[in-house]
Amino acid sequence: MSRILKIIALSAFTALSGCGNSPGINPLFIRAADAQGADRAHRSVERPYMLRPNDQLRVQVYNEPSISGDYQVDSAGYISVPLAGRVKASGRTAGQLEQAIVAALSRGMLKDPRVNVQVSNYAAFYIHGEVKKSGEYPYRPGLTVMDAVATAGGFTYRADESKAVVRRAGDNVDSVVPLDRTISVSPGDNIKIPERFF
C-alpha cells in the first residue's frame, strides 16, 4: 500500500515539475504578473477632483445667459449664482455642484434647469525650501511632487532628494512623503523640500 502511495506522489510531483518548467506556465510568474497588473490598475484609478477655494469655474445654465459665466470659489468655499444664491462648492465634485445649482434654481423661477460646471482654472500650489525657484505655480491635473520640483527649477545642491514635506490644502498637519514614490499634488498644496544633513 505504501509503495502505491509513493508511486502516486512521485507521479504528481513529476507532473507539477513539468508544468513549472513549461514555457509561460510558471505559477510564480503568473502571480507576479497579476500582482503587477493589479498594482497598475490601482494606481491608474484617480479619485474625482474635489473643488477648492480659489478654483475658477465656468458655469453654463442652458438658455440663461444672464446666469451663465465665470465664478471663483471664495475663501469660505461658496460661489454666488444669480437666482440660486450662495451655493457650497468646496468639497464637491463638479457634478455634485451641478446638482446643487439645479436644486437651488428649481426652488426659484426656473423649471427643469440644465447646468454644466467645468473647472477653468485651478488654485495654485506652493513649493519652497531647497528648490531653485520657490514660489506659487499653476496647478495642472496629474501633477506629482517630482513634477512640482521640476517646475521650480529642480533641487538645490543642499536638498534632501529622498523626501518632501507636504501640507495639503485645508489641513494644518505636515506629512513627510518619500520621493521614490509617485505622490500626487492637489491645488492649494504647500510643498517643502528639506535640507539634507551633511
- Give the model confidence (pLDDT) of 91-127 as tens digits: 999 999 999 999 999 998 888 999 999 999 999 999 9
Q: Compute the Cα dihedral for 96, 102, 106, 109 and give only its sign.
A: positive
Q: pLDDT by residue for the chain (198 residues), tens digit each?
A: 455 545 444 444 444 444 444 344 333 333 333 334 333 333 334 567 889 889 999 999 999 999 999 999 999 999 999 999 999 999 999 999 999 999 999 998 888 999 999 999 999 999 999 999 999 999 998 999 999 999 999 999 999 999 999 999 878 899 999 999 999 999 999 999 999 986
Query: What tens digit of pLDDT does each residue of 47-61 get?
Result: 678 898 899 999 999
Given this model, what pLDDT does residue 46 score? 53
**Biggest CA-to-CA distance, the chain:** 92
- Reported pTM: 0.64
User: CA 50 from chain center: how many Å?
Assistant: 10
- Strands 56-61 and 69-72 come out as antiparallel
Q: Which is nearest to 186 in space by CA: 127, 116, 139?
A: 139
